[in-house]
Amino acid sequence: MSEPLTLNIGLCGFGTVGQGVWKHLSANLAELESRLGVKLNLARAAVRDPKKVRGVKIPARKLTADPLAIANDPSIHIVCELMGGTTLARQVTLAALRHGKVVVSANKALICEHGPEIIAAAQKHGGHFFFEASVAGGIPIIKALREGLVANRFPRIYGILNGTCNYILTQMEEHDAPYAPVLAEAKRLGYAEADESLDVDGWDTAHKAAVLAWLAHGVWVKPGQMIVEGISRITPDDFKNAATLGFGIKLLAVITRDLARNELSVRVHPTLLPASNVIANVSGVFNAISVTGDVVGTTLYSGRGAGQDATASAVISDIADAAALLKHGKGGHLLGEASAPARGGCRLAPPESIRCRYYLRLTVKDQPGVLARVASVMARQKVSIASVIQSPAATPGAASLVLTTHQSNERAMRDTLKLLGRLGAVLEAPLLIRSGDFD
């Protein structure tokens, strides 16, 4: 009986996720090797400071300060890029792929910014690129799209992809608390970074949405081509107003494709969801994704979207896939490397094709005739008002005016906001929240 194939694994980056991968892979090594029929050797790890004391112990002989040394090491079969960032991570990823290695990555920003280049390098040099951990942590959404749902086209994918924002919004809603102190508490608990902007301004979610859009539709959509709005202007009053209307508020990625027109829309923004919607009830740091396929219908995925254990689970899943690929020579199709034209390439939807209902909050002078002037502006843009909620504002002499609309479109609402901002009676920039008309 021949000896099982030995696969050497190198980790580039040994922070929270890297240590989680090393810890869990070491703990479950025998069982995983038995299931895969290979030997897995945690050969090397690249760290910034080899002398730093870490929670996960690793022999000093296995440490290096040079991640490129791992990428270029001919004895390493699987390179796990867990550093973050897009500069050195790109160099390491491309170097490994040029040697025909398998690269496992958790880096959504890298994929969003350099995806076409990475996939091209994998194809050219016979390497392979796996990235389950880049979106939604431990939720196997990438495997679902590229394997389990391969028979489908996807009219709609939407969901919560950022646990930090979901935690903040949950706390604001449950405790009737303003944004700033909730953000401060999220930082204290380690749910938010010292610089929170990547999360709360929607860019982290946009990177993940770009990955999902490519997997589902074969089109690379840059964040600059999306509608991207964050949560910092949401107030406790918005939650109260939403509840009055029968809604909750979540920061969602929304990827829609009009199959008849072949138009694709990718957007990230706070969204009103009916209280009965399952995703509206996903709280705390959890993620949830709804995927509608033209064959299967709607499927739902929920779980921890970040953290050491959830992300390590996804990385180890990709390592297992890589091991199967290297042992059996199968699985290249799982990378979804078809070009956009081969997958029925679609174009980005113009603003007038992106339609939904809207929630519009205005802080206005508390005086007669203001509502009529606002309604006149909206009527000129053919935006129909469905309901009005008026209440005193925190500023003396001001009122809060909340209007919901019947279905309209992004172009009409952009023009409406521009004109409303010019009214002397409007005291602050209007707040717009889109309605999730998904049912």
Alpha helices (H) in 357-430, listed in sequence order: 370-380, 410-420
Pairing relation of β-strands 156-160 and 286-293?
A: antiparallel
42 to 52, 75, 78, 229: CA distances (angstroms): 19, 12, 10, 41
Phi, psi of 85 (to 5 degrees): 75, 175
- Max Cα separation, the chain? 90
Active site residue 208: yes
How buried is residue 347: exposed, middle or buried, by Cβ count under 10 Å (0-12/13-18/19+)? Answer: exposed
Q: What is the DSSP letter of 261?
A: T
Closest Cα partner for 276 from 438, 156, 160?
438
The angle at the Cα of 322, spanning 103 to 317, to the nearest 5 degrees, equals: 95
Task: Give the pair of three-digit tokens for residue 400.
Answer: 């809060």
Alpha helices (H) in 281-396, listed in sequence order: 308-328, 370-380
Q: How far apart are CA 197 and CA 234, in angstroms?
A: 15
DSSP assignment of 143-162 equals HIIIIITTT---SEEEEE--
SS3 for 245?
A: helix
Are the C-beta atoms of 356 and 405 separated by less than 8 Å? Answer: no
The angle at the Cα of 143, spanning 313 to 312, to the nearest 5 degrees, equals: 10
As a residue count, the chain comes to 439
Are the C-beta atoms of 308 and 298 separated by less than 8 Å? Answer: no
Strands in 5-12's sheet, in edge-to-edge order, are 63-64, 38-46, 5-12, 78-81, 102-105, 128-130
Are the C-beta atoms of 195 and 322 separated by less than 8 Å? Answer: no
- Amino acid in position 92: V
Whole-angstrom distance between the N-terminal and C-terminal Cα of the chain? Answer: 57
Point out the catalytic residue in the list 51, 62, 101, 208.
Answer: 208
- Residue positions annotated with a catalytic role: 208
